[in-house]
Amino acid sequence: MRKTSRKTQDVRQYSRLVVDGVKQTPSRAMLRAVGFTDADFTRPQVGIASTWANVTPCNMHIGDLAREAAAGADAAGGKSVIFNTITVSDGISMGSPGMRYSLVSREVIADSIETVVGAEGFDALVAIGGCDKNMPGCVMAIARLNRPAVFVYGGTICPGAHHRDIVSVFEAVGARAAGRIGDAELAEVERTAIPGAGSCGGMYTANTMASAIEALGLSLPNSSAQEAVGESKRADCRRAGAAVMKLAEAGIRPSDILTRKAFENAISVVIALGGSTNAVLHLLAMAHAARVRLRLDDFTRIGRRVPVLADLRPSGRYLMSELIAIGGIQPLMKRLLDAGLLHGDCLTVTGRTLGENLATVGDYPADQDIVRSFADPVKKDSHLVILYGNLAPEGAVAKITGKEGLRFTGRARVFDGEEAATAAILAGRVKAGDVVVIRHEGPRGGPGMREMLSPTGAIMGRGLGDKVALITDGRFSGGSHGFVVGHVSPEAAVGGPIGLLRNGDLLTIDAVTRRIEAALSAAELRRRRAAWRPKRPYATAGVLHKYAHTVSSASQGAITDA
C-alpha cells in the first residue's frame, strides 16, 4: 500500500462513534447479542454488503461468497458484519411489467447500502454483486460513502448445453414464432440453457459492468473474469476482505481511485470488450455519485481511438467463460495500456497503480482468436455510438458493431409500449425495411426504462436482424444485438420528438455521421408538439411513482439524486 498521508487518522473513525465510551453502552449491549466480543469493539468494523437472493441464478451463491469476504476481513484484523440488500432478475422479469422495477433497483441498492453503512458506522466496506443493477448500485453507494471499499463480482455462469445461454432462449422464442423450430426444441433449449449459479454468460451487462469496475480500480485484478462457482472466486472474496483492511490502514478512499482518468479507463475497456449499452447509463450514474464530470460526448471522444477487440456475444461468438480460460481481461488491459489507451497512473484497491498491477501480465496464447490484435479488430472504433438529431436532441445510444451495416433508412412502425411491439413482431406484422419505434418506455414514462430483449430477441429469431431497425426511449439488455438505438432523449413522456412520430414517417439512423433523424420539417414537429398531450402515468403511488418524479433523463444516467 502506497498512500500513507492519512495514516494518522483513526481507522476506526466511524465505528468508534458507535461503540466507544459510557454513552454508547446500549450500542455495545445490542452488538453483543449478534456475536461481538470485548475484543471486537476495538477492531475496525467492515460491512459486507451481500446481494444474496434465491430469486435469480446470478445471486443464489453470493451468501457463501459474503462469508468468505467476512473471513478475509476478520483474519486481517477487522470485525466483519454481513448485511443484505435486494436484487431483482432482469432475465426473469424481461418482457413483463416487472421489468419496470429493474433500473429502479439500482437506486434502491445504492440507497440501502449507503443507509446501512452510514447508520451502523462501518469503517470499511466490501460489496458483492451479481445481476446487472447490483454492480452500479454498489459502486454508487461506495462513491457516496467514500469509506475504504472493495467491490467483488459474483462471477459468470458456465455455458449451457450446446454453448447456450439466456439469449439463446429469447432468440429461440422468435425462432419458434417463425416456424424455424418446434415446441420440443424450444422446451429443450429452456431446460438446458441455464446450468446453475452465475451471471449471464456473454459480454452482456453483468460481465460488462464487472469488467468496467475492475478497470476503474475498485476490484482486485481478475475479479471480473472468474466463474461464479469455484475456488478462484472464493479466494477472490477472501482477498477482498483482507485488501479493504489494508486500504483502511493506508487511508485510501474511493475518491482517490474514482477519478476522471479512471472512468476513461473503464470506457476504453468496455469498448474493447464490445460491452453493453447499459454501461453508458451506469457509468454516467457512477461518475455522478463520485462527483466526476462525465458526459455522453466522452464516449464518442474515447470511442474514436479505441477499437473493439473481443469477439464476444451477443454479436460475437464466444462466452465469458472462454475469455476466462485464456486469461480474462488483464491481458486485454495490458494491450490497451501498451498502446497508450489506458491511464497507467490511476490508483487501485491493491494500493498500487493500474500500470504497476499490469506490469507482470503476459499476453494471450498465440493460438486464440477470442481477442484480436489491433491490426485486425472486430471494429476499428467503438460499437457504442452516441447519436444526435431531430429525434434525439439530448442524445441516444446505439450498439452498432458494423455487422448490421452502418446506416438504416425505413418507415416507422410506432408502438406505445414493449408488449404491443413484441406481439407484432412475433405475429409477423413487422417486415423488412421497418423501423420499430417503442416509446413511453423511458426512465419517467415507463417508468423504469425497461430493457427490450424480448422484441430484439424476437427480431433476431425471425431472421430480421439485418433487415429491421429498432429505436426506443427505453434501453437494451446487454444481450440485445442488431440495428438498435436506445436511450432516446428527451423521452416521449416529457414531449420528446420520439413521442411525436406516426406510422409511416421516414427515419434515418447513420452511425457514420452519428445522426438520428426523422424526415419531418421543424414546422411539422412544432405542429405535432402543439397537439401533443402527456400520457396517463403508469403508476400513481408507490416506488414507481416516486421514481418517475425524481429520475433524470437517460442522457444524464437516469439518476435520482441530481
Residue 8: the pLDDT is 53
507 neighbors 494 (Cβ within 8 angstroms): no
Whole-number Å distance between alpha carbons of 345 and 292: 17
DSSP notation for 191-224? HHS--SSSB-SSSSHHHHHHHHHHHHTSS-TTTT
Could you give the 3-state DSSP secondary structure of residue 135?
Answer: helix
How is residue 252 annotated by DSSP? -
Helices (H), 251-353: 254-257, 260-273, 278-289, 296-303, 320-325, 330-338
Cα–Cα dist 419/130, whole Å = 27
Cell numbers linked to 68: 468468505
For residue 405, what pLDDT is reported?
86
Where b means 16+ CB within 10 Å and e means fewer, 216-248 reads bbbbbbbbbbbbbbeeebbebbbbbbbbbbbbb
CB 433 within 8 A of CB 458: no
Question: Partners of 276 in the beta sheet?
Answer: none
pLDDT at position 223, please? 98
Asked if 379 and 307 touch (Cβ cutoff 8 Å), the reply is: yes
Which stretches of 372-485 are DSSP H helices? 418-426, 453-461
Q: Are 19 and 31 in contact (CB under 8 A)?
A: yes
Residue whose entry in the numeric block shows the C-alpha cell 413511453: 440
**Could you give the dihedral angle defined by the CA atoms of residues 226, 229, 231 and 234, in that order, rounded to the nearest 10 degrees?**
80
CA–CA separation, 471 and 462 (whole Å): 18
DSSP code per residue over 137-155: HHHHHHHHH-SSEEEEE--
Written in H, E and C, the secondary structure of 37-96 is: CCHHHHCCEEEEEECCCCCCCCCCCHHHHHHHHHHHHHHCCCEEEEEECCCCCHHHHCCC
Tell me how far apart the terminal alpha carbons of the chain are, to the nearest angstrom: 34
pTM more than 0.95: yes
CB 412 within 8 A of CB 430: no
- Whether the upstream peptide bond of residue 490 has omega within 30° of 0, thus cis, is yes
Cis peptide upstream of residue 447 (ω within 30 degrees of 0) = yes
365 preceded by cis ω (within 30°)? no
Residue pLDDT tens, the chain, 562 long: 756 554 456 899 999 999 999 999 999 999 999 999 999 999 999 999 999 999 999 999 999 999 999 999 999 999 999 999 999 999 999 999 999 999 999 999 999 999 999 999 999 999 999 999 999 999 999 999 999 999 999 999 999 999 999 999 999 999 999 999 999 999 999 999 999 999 999 999 999 999 999 999 999 999 999 999 999 999 999 999 999 999 999 999 999 999 999 999 999 999 999 999 999 999 999 999 999 999 999 999 999 999 999 999 998 999 999 999 999 999 999 999 999 999 999 999 999 999 999 999 999 999 999 999 999 999 999 999 999 999 999 999 999 988 778 999 999 999 999 999 999 999 999 999 999 999 999 999 999 999 999 999 999 999 999 899 999 999 999 888 889 999 999 999 999 999 999 999 999 999 999 999 999 999 999 999 999 999 999 999 999 999 999 999 999 999 999 8
* C-alpha 384 chain-centroid distance: 14
Q: Which grid cell is 228?
A: 461464479
Please tell me the predicted confidence (pLDDT) of residue 7.
47
Cβ 44 vs Cβ 15: under 8 Å = yes
**Which one-letter DSSP state was computed for residue 378?**
S
Res 4: pLDDT: 55
Closest residue by Cα to residue 158 from 61, 84, 50, 275? 61
In whole angstroms, what is the distance from residue 51 CA to residue 85 CA? Answer: 5
Q: How many residues are there in the chain?
A: 562
Question: Residue 143 phi/psi, 5° resolution?
Answer: -65, -40
Question: Which amino acids are annotated catalytic?
Answer: 477
Residue 207 is predicted with a pLDDT of 97
All structural domains of the chain, each given as residue ranges with its CATH number in brackets, are 15-158+196-358 (no CATH), 384-556 (3.50.30.80)
